[in-house]
Structure 1
Amino acid sequence: MSAPAIRPFTAQFTDAEVADLRMRIAATRFAEKETVSDRSQGPQLATLKELIRYWGEEYDFNRVQTNVNAHPNFITEIDGLDIHFIHVRSKHENALPLIITHGWPGSVIEQLKLIEPLVNPTEHGGDASDAFHVVIPSIPGYGFSGKPTATGWGPKRVARAWAELMGRLGYTRYAAQGGDWGAIITDLMGAQAPEGLVAIHTNMAGVVPSAIDAALAAGQPLPDGTPPLTEDEKDTVAHLKSVYSHVFYAYIMGDRPQALAGIADSPVGLAAFLIDHDAASLELITRSFDGVPEGLTRDDVLDNITLFWLTNTGISSARLYAENKTPFFGVNGVKIPVAVSVFPDELYPAPKTWAEQAYPNLVHYNRLPKGGHFAAWEQPELLVNEVRTGLRSVR
């Protein structure tokens, strides 16, 4: 039996699809202004008005397909579902294959800034020995990948599919990297330890002891018998208490994704939902629409929202939360080498003590000076350096 085909793919949206989006943007009906002076009620009306104005009047709707098509794209069927991926091989000998996974509310748009520095390190401040062959798939239900029509496509199945993809591409030795869902999928790959996977790198490490994680998720005190916490561990607990009190988008998508049908019909509804992931990211995005871009530009933000709209993946992507049976931040039993990068505005700062317990083969741990949850998108240079350094010992 021949191997399943790998088919070239070109991202292309029709004029009619773009015209329909423009019409909907022009017809936006806004809610009234928030009753507070901060972002505690979510994206502020002024931010949404400027986003919609810029989207409708100045944004280049060709950006998404142009930027995606700047790299080789492919589709292959795995376990009955079409999987889209970008695949860029390095010219450097002995480059290490690396599969990089995005999260929610992201897409392959998040990782585009990583490709050239990882593939061509000598042109971006690195050595030839730092080179990677890069594979960036779209999670099922996201972007250009197929949308599951039945239950069962949770993170564990995605992790197995990624191992199948790397084998299908002929890679017998490779590493994996991810943040957000990408971190969870990458962690699960590490736990599954498929043949050929030599190490993982994560910028949202799964290190929280299960009893502590379960108590915090339930809004309960730490369990009796919890060892005294270090200052870093106390800081982590404080962050997680806040996270579990405010990630209502995750609870909604995990329980009632179909109730979000309005984001498939309203551009401003989709935009408001996608930019309200966490407080630090919303602040960063708000600044970009206030004319003070740092890490993310208006175009960056709208590239991702536009991809979600034109592929109609607001609901299909949400179902990953409903499929998930894995704790977001818990320990998954990874035994292979692991590199951990901690960005200060991440949902929680993974303490080194817990990282050492969760990952007995921890080969790299570093706290970065700036950056948040979407590190590949916000601080690509820092993340590239972390990936190079963190995986150097396993080459």
Structure 2
Amino acid sequence: MSDAIQPFPIRVPQTALIDLADRLARIRWPDSGPVRDGSQGPQPDRIRALVERWQGGYDWRATETLLNGWNSSRAVIDGLGIHFLHVRSPQSQATPLLLTHGWPGSILEFRDVIGPLTDPVAHGGHASDAFHLVIPALPGFGFSDKPSELGWGVGHTARAWGQLMQRLDYGDRWMAQGGDWGAAVTIVLAHMRAPGLAGIHLNMVMFQPTPHEREDATQEERRMLDDAERYDREYSAYMKLQCTRPQSLAFALADSPVGLASWIYALFQDVSDSDRHPERLIPLDHLIDDVMLYWLPNAGPSSARFYWEAAQEMAKGMPHGLIPLPAGVSMFPGEPIRLSRRWAKGRFADLRFFAEADHGGHFAALENPSTFVEHVRATFRAMT
């Protein structure tokens, strides 16, 4: 099979949009129940507002044009087609940077940072801060292929990303960034010492505090532990279901656009820095765009299975020990899984940058793009 990188213009058939409109016109709504604060999940009025915009005013074709304008491309790696955006900087000496999203994010999570990162001069920065961006959709997400064989978890994805950067002729020196599953993939890339990878930046670090760290926690670190415990207690049911029984959920995600939208919206509600009103922080059309990248390619079921694959890997043992490559870490206050600078120093062999943002949450590049860009630039400046 050819190793060539191929253009991949996205052209969703009109019949798919007509089918979606028909499904949205025939919703059977749940009752509101006795709880009014969203603690049981999204309230019907929130999802009704989203659906009303979805039905009237939202324009998928505009989003399609946006994606195609960012050099929508495809590569087949280990038999699986990987969709990615490849946005080159006007600065020829720009540093290649791999950006990896998580769930329920997508490649559009980076929509507001593409311009500043690729063309800093046009956004008040310096030419030396320019990046060529590679933004792949995880296996089974968006318009990437759905794995038909077991094993496409974090480790296999990291190896595929390393191959992708080699095929793009970025193998001499490149950087990587990620949050959520993107952080897990980026950390594995660092442990693998992927050829040419010179440094990483993370806006989430998956870690377990040690007993000593718990006992010796400062007041601020105690708040971090409390937030993580609250996430596990109140918000993580989706993760446990997708890690163990993703196919039970698959039928609902594949058949009901509103079911899919509410499942995704719940995470934006629970782990964004928005006081549980994500549409006040992220434009409603952008939230719908994210849902569409799951609905149109029927990626709800396959993206859920990524959790199952990762759970199998974790049971067998993932790479551990100090993260060996130069690294930068950004902590956003609405991210439920946070660590302090001193905890980070114990997990990275060469921590070049650490900073805390004044606002933003789990979807950092969407919620606080200016700080995200500032921290990414500062991290990789420290590695030149």
Deviation at 1:208, TM superposition (A): 3.2
Tell me, yes or no, if the aligned pair for 2:272 and 2:361 is still in contact at 8 Å. Answer: no
Indicate yes or no: 2:337 matched with 1:348.
yes
In the alignment, the residues of structure 2 paired with residue 33 and residue 283 of structure 1 have an alpha-carbon distance, to the nearest angstrom, of: 25
CA distance in 2, matches of 1:224, 1:104: 31
User: Which secondary structure does the structure 2 equivalent of 1:200 belong to?
Assistant: strand
Matched, 1:259 2:241: no
The whole-number CA distance in structure 1 between the counterparts of 2:295 and 2:156 is 26
Following TM superposition, by how much is the alpha carbon of 1:333 offset from its aligned partner in structure 2, in angstroms?
Answer: 3.2
Residue in 2 aligned with 1:157? 156
CA-CA distance at 1:240 after TM superposition: 1.6
Partner-residue secondary structure (3-state), 1:199: strand
Residues 251 and 64 from structure 1, CA distance in 2 versus in 1: closer, same or farther, beyond 3 angstroms? same
Picking from 307, 314, 318, the partner of 2:300 is: 314
For the residue of structure 2 that corresponds to 1:50, the secondary structure is helix
The residue that corresponds to 1:68 in the other structure is 67
How far off its partner does 1:46 sit?
A: 0.7
Residue equivalent to 1:215: none
How does the TM-score come out when normalised to structure 2?
A: 0.93
SS at match of 1:64: helix
1:232-256 Cα offsets, whole Å, 9 max, x none, are: 3322221221121120101111111
Structure 2 Cα separation of the partners of residues 306 and 271 of structure 1: 9
> What secondary structure does 2:113 align onto?
helix
Partner of 2:265: 275
Which deviates further from its counterpart, 364-373 or 255-264? 255-264
Determine the structure 1 residue equivalent to 2:166. 167
TM-score, with length taken from structure 1: 0.91
Matches of 1:317 and 1:55, distance apart in 2: 22
CA distance 1:286–1:224, shift in 2 (3 Å): closer
For the pair 1:201 / 2:201, whether they are aligned, the reply is: yes
Is the 1:247–1:278 contact (alpha carbons within 8 Å) kept by the matching residues of 2? no
Q: Kindly tell me: are residues 390 and 283 of structure 1, through their superposed partners in 2, closer, same or farther at Cα, counting changes over 3 Å?
A: closer
Are the counterparts in 2 of residues 275 and 281 from structure 1 also a CA contact under 8 Å?
Answer: no
Matched residue of 1:358: which SS? coil
Contact 1:198/1:337 (<8 A) preserved:
yes
SS at match of 1:311: coil
Partner residue of 1:228 out of 213, 216, 241: 216
Structure 1 SS opposite 2:160: helix
RMSD value over aligned CA atoms? 2.2
Asked if 2 retains the 8 angstrom alpha-carbon contact of 1:276 and 1:282, the reply is no
Question: Cα distance, 1:187 vs. partner?
Answer: 1.1
Instruction: After superposition, give the CA deviation of every residue in 1:163-218 in whole Å (9 maximum; x if it has no partner).
Output: 11101111110000011111111111111111210000000023434xx4xxxxxx
Unmatched runs of 5 consecutive residues or more in structure 1? 213-222
Comparing 312-321 with 86-95, greater Cα deviation is found at 86-95
| Aligned 8 A contact 1:207 1:354 in 2 | no
CA distance in 1, matches of 2:29, 2:189: 43
CA distance in 2, matches of 1:163, 1:309: 28
Q: Does 1:237 align with 2:225?
A: yes
Kindly indicate whether the alpha-carbon contact (under 8 Å) linking 2:253 and 2:259 is maintained by their aligned counterparts in 1: yes
Corresponding residue of 2:284? 298
Question: Are positions 1:377 and 2:376 aligned together?
Answer: no
Aligned length: 378
Decide which moves more: 318-327 or 178-187: 318-327
For residues 208 and 90 of structure 2, the distance between their equivalents in structure 1, rounded to whole angstroms, comes to 39
CA distance in 2 between partners of 1:121 and 1:188 (Å)? 29
What percentage of aligned pairs have identical amino acids? 39
Q: Structure 2: any 5+ residue segments left out of the alignment?
A: none
Contact 1:280 1:345 in 2 (8 A): no
Cα 1:42–1:353 change in 2 (3 A) is: same
Q: Deviations for 1:24-62, whole angstroms, at most 9, x for unmatched residues?
A: 001111100131120101001110111111111221121
1:140 deviates by 0.4
Question: Match of 1:306, SS?
Answer: helix
Task: Quickly say closer, same or farther: Cα 1:83–1:384, change in 2 above 3 A.
Answer: same
Deviations 1:331-364 (A, max 9, x none): 6531110100000000222111110000120000
- 3-state secondary structure, aligned to 2:293: helix
Q: How many Å apart are 1:283 and its aligned residue?
A: 7.5
